[in-house]
A and B are shown apart, each in its own frame.
Chain A
Amino acid sequence: MIFTKNLNKILTVVFASLALTACASGSKKAGKMAGDVYTGTDTIEYLATGVKDRVFFATNKSTLTTAARDTLRKQAAFMRKKKDLTFTIEGHADERGTREYNLALGERRANAAKDYLMTYGISGSRLSVISYGKERPVNSGSTPLAWSQNRRSVTVKAN
């Protein structure tokens, strides 16, 4: 049951990201965004050299973009090397949504990242998830760019 559910999710992720890639290549790149997904590096921190700590999402979405999957694969490789480390994945939303729905959306985003890491061999017992909804923005602006930086899941070392 759980297996098929996860499989379904992976398939959804793959299909959705295909669709997104198709969109992104067609749409004009507005500064540091593709569509409305943040593609810059301004707010990013690193778990290790070349291992970004966060991935970004489109408005109201929790599907992983090509860039997000690339980041998460690097995180998974780092996690496989550092077997004694555990991690918390924080899910966040932008301010353009109702508080309660955003809590659920943040949880869904964090789990999208967690599920992807698990498909790359990281045990779920090493990965905990917390949603902050829209409570902890990194950028306090009220602009599309600020919102794109705030729609994120961040992997942090927990021990």
Chain B
Amino acid sequence: MKKLISIIFYFLITTNQSFALVEVDITRGNLDPLPIAVSPLYIEPGSKDVKQDDKIIKNVGEEISKVIEINFKRSGLFNPLKKDSFVQNPDIAHIKPRFEDWRLIKAQALVTGKVTVTEDKLRAEFRLWDVVSGKEMLALAFSTTPDNWRRVAHIISDKIYQRLTGEDGYFDSRIVYVSETGPKTQRYKKLAIMDQDGANVKYLTLGNELVLTPRFSPTNQLVTYLSYFRNLPRVYLLDIETGVQEVVGDFPGMTFAPRFSPDGKKIIMSFAKDGNSDIYTMNIESRVVERITDHTSIDTSPSYSPDGKYICFNSDRSGYQQIYVMRSDGSNVKRISFKKGIYGTPVWSPRGDLIAFTKMTGGKFYIGVMRADGSGERLLTENFYQEAPSWSPNGRVLIFYRETKTDSEGKGFSATLWSIDLTGYNERLIETETDGSDPSWSSLLSK
């Protein structure tokens, strides 16, 4: 796996962050995205080309600006303006923008920057300008290895998102998912990992055995998932840097539906025995196993609250699948889903306020959210089949997967990854090389 490289931040100029200039409201569906001009970062004369694998990237400054633009466009909050309307040269604009020119093309914010590339180092700096008031809002610089240039673009995107919305971004993050090929009756499944924007796909398993439901550890270094290795479905741990895989615990039956605790010390999962599934935890270091639920119904899909004090889970103890919340020791179990339909895959928002879920009613599948006490249920999207939402690190976007209805001959099946904003707007396909399912979003790679 690609080694994670620490990125060093330098503050160029500290601007007065409390002074509100241009702002973006992300709490509502944004029908009027902010017009923003992302000038290509200009390359300092004497810089080297960036070598990445077999490719040579001639103008990394322009490539960085393109990645930023795609991030902004996909967020639905920004409208990146076409570069052919830009009048001012990138190098001059970075020093002192002629705001009248940028106002003329209706830009409200402007991003400028500069890149210096040596053999083993890439230094990028950028500035964010408020075009309307003619002020600088933010200026930062980073250093990393040249092959890491896409992360520079994502970090710049996050910094700008944060400055303009007042909330953390989610662009410098990754998705782990299941890559699918083959006929519906005999799918080949591999674990795959990619950047949040679909770039840098890497396959983590070979497809020799069925794998399902990968989830990141809070530090993003480990993935827990279900593997049918040797026809024994068990929860596994994979270190994505070393590639080392190990089975979690020594259970005399199927373990499944794993997730990490927020401190990363435990795996919470279901263990099925004699037709009954209950929820267990295992401490990764001490290997101590604890039983959390003890009920004759199916208890599965557990997910911790971000403070680790509560667990939401899926149970059919009332007859059908519903969502329940309990304390992390298994006490005080309360059902929170009560509307028409059945509910599955609850997952707690990283902000702690909401639980996302899959709902099935009237022959349709919905992705929705409700508060942790079950109030305020909102359905965000309806489809023939979709499930398994996973939160962006800032709790503003959900990623999930869809499967299509097959035709009368059983053909035309596909599985794809989608994202939607918490507002219910901005639904987008995330393109992948193969079919994809069971997406799980990492936390931010750098804070």
Q: Which of A62, A98, A135, A146 contacts B321 (CB 8 A)?
A: A98
Given A97-B344, A135-B210, the answer on whether A104 and B185 have CB atoms closer than 8 Å is no
Within 8 A of B (CB), among A100-139: 100-101, 103-105, 107-108, 110-112, 115, 129-132, 135-139
Q: Which of A62, A99, A104, A137 contacts B388 (CB 8 A)?
A: A99
- Interface: A27 (CB within 8 A): no
Interface secondary structure of A, over-half rule: mixed
Q: List 9 A-B contacts (CB under 8 A).
A: A100-B270, A101-B321, A107-B253, A107-B254, A131-B272, A137-B185, A139-B410, A140-B185, A142-B384
Nearest Cβ in chain B — how far from A83, in angstroms?
A: 24
Is there contact, CB below 8 Å, between B410 and A140? yes
Chain B window 334-349, contacts with chain A (Cβ cutoff 8 Å), 1 for yes, 0 for no: 0000000000110000
Q: Which of B256, B275, B320 contacts A103 (CB 8 A)?
A: B256
Given A96-B385, A99-B212, the answer on whether A108 and B184 have CB atoms closer than 8 Å is no
Is there contact, CB below 8 Å, between B233 and A130? yes
Once bound together, how far apart are the Cα atoms of A26 and B54, in whole Å? Answer: 69
Set of chain A residues within 8 Å of B277, measured between Cβ atoms: 104, 107-108
- Interface: A141 (CB within 8 A): yes
Nearest Cβ in chain A — how far from B325, in angstroms?
A: 17
Q: Which of A97, A104, A140 contacts B413 (CB 8 A)?
A: A140
Is there contact, CB below 8 Å, between A108 and B185? no
Residue of B254, B275, B301 ringed by the most chain A CB atoms within 10 A:
B275
User: Number of B residues contacting the other chain (C-beta, 8 Å)?
Assistant: 45
Once bound together, how far apart are the Cα atoms of A129 and B360, in whole Å? Answer: 28
- Interface: B195 (CB within 8 A): no
Given A104-B277, A138-B185, A141-B408, the answer on whether A99 and B321 have CB atoms closer than 8 Å is no
Once bound together, how far apart are the Cα atoms of A103 and B408, in whole Å? Answer: 26
Is there contact, CB below 8 Å, between A135 and B212? yes
- Interface: B298 (CB within 8 A): yes
- Who on chain B is nearest to A131 by CB? B254
Is there contact, CB below 8 Å, between B321 and A136? no
Set of chain A residues within 8 Å of B360, measured between Cβ atoms: 96-98
Is there contact, CB below 8 Å, between A141 and B212? no
Nearest Cβ in chain A — how far from B281, in angstroms?
A: 16
Within 8 A of A (CB), among B253-276: 253-254, 256-257, 270, 272, 274-276
Nearest Cβ in chain B — how far from A66, in angstroms?
A: 20
Is there contact, CB below 8 Å, between A100 and B314? yes
Is there contact, CB below 8 Å, between A101 and B184? no
Q: Chain B residues in contact with chain A, CB under 8 A? A: 183-187, 210, 212-213, 226, 231, 233, 253-254, 256-257, 270, 272, 274-277, 298, 300-301, 314, 316, 320-321, 344-345, 358, 360, 384-385, 387-388, 403, 405-406, 408-411, 413, 438
What is the number of contacts between chain A and chain B, taking CB atoms within 8 Å?
A: 107
Once bound together, how far apart are the Cα atoms of A38 and B256, in whole Å? Answer: 28
Set of chain B residues within 8 Å of A142, measured between Cβ atoms: 384, 405-406, 410
Given A62-B275, A96-B360, A98-B321, the answer on whether A136 and B270 have CB atoms closer than 8 Å is no
Nearest Cβ in chain B — how far from A51, in angstroms?
A: 23
Set of chain A residues within 8 Å of B257, measured between Cβ atoms: 100, 103
Is there contact, CB below 8 Å, between B387 and A108? no
Given A131-B272, A137-B184, A142-B405, the answer on whether A100 and B321 have CB atoms closer than 8 Å is no
Set of chain B residues within 8 Å of A100, measured between Cβ atoms: 213, 256-257, 270, 300-301, 314, 344-345
- Who on chain A is nearest to B405 by CB? A142
Once bound together, how far apart are the Cα atoms of A154 and B233, in whole Å? Answer: 17
Is there contact, CB below 8 Å, between B186 and A136? yes
- Who on chain A is nearest to B403 by CB? A95
Q: Which of A95, A96, A107 contacts B272 (CB 8 A)?
A: A107
Which 5 pairs from chain A and chain B are nearest by CB? A111-B275, A98-B344, A140-B410, A140-B184, A104-B277
Given A101-B314, A140-B406, A146-B410, the answer on whether A130 and B275 have CB atoms closer than 8 Å is no
16 additional contacts, CB 8 Å, given A107-B277, A110-B275, A130-B231? A95-B403, A98-B301, A98-B314, A100-B213, A101-B298, A103-B272, A104-B270, A108-B272, A111-B275, A112-B275, A136-B185, A136-B186, A138-B185, A140-B184, A140-B410, A146-B410
Set of chain B residues within 8 Å of A86, measured between Cβ atoms: none
Is there contact, CB below 8 Å, between A98 and B358? yes
Nearest Cβ in chain A — how far from B321, in angstroms?
A: 6
Nearest Cβ in chain B — how far from A136, in angstroms?
A: 7
Once bound together, how far apart are the Cα atoms of A130 and B276, in whole Å? Answer: 13
Is there contact, CB below 8 Å, between A103 and B403? no
Set of chain B residues within 8 Å of A115, measured between Cβ atoms: 275
Nearest Cβ in chain A — how far from B390, in angstroms?
A: 13
Is there contact, CB below 8 Å, between B212 and A60? no
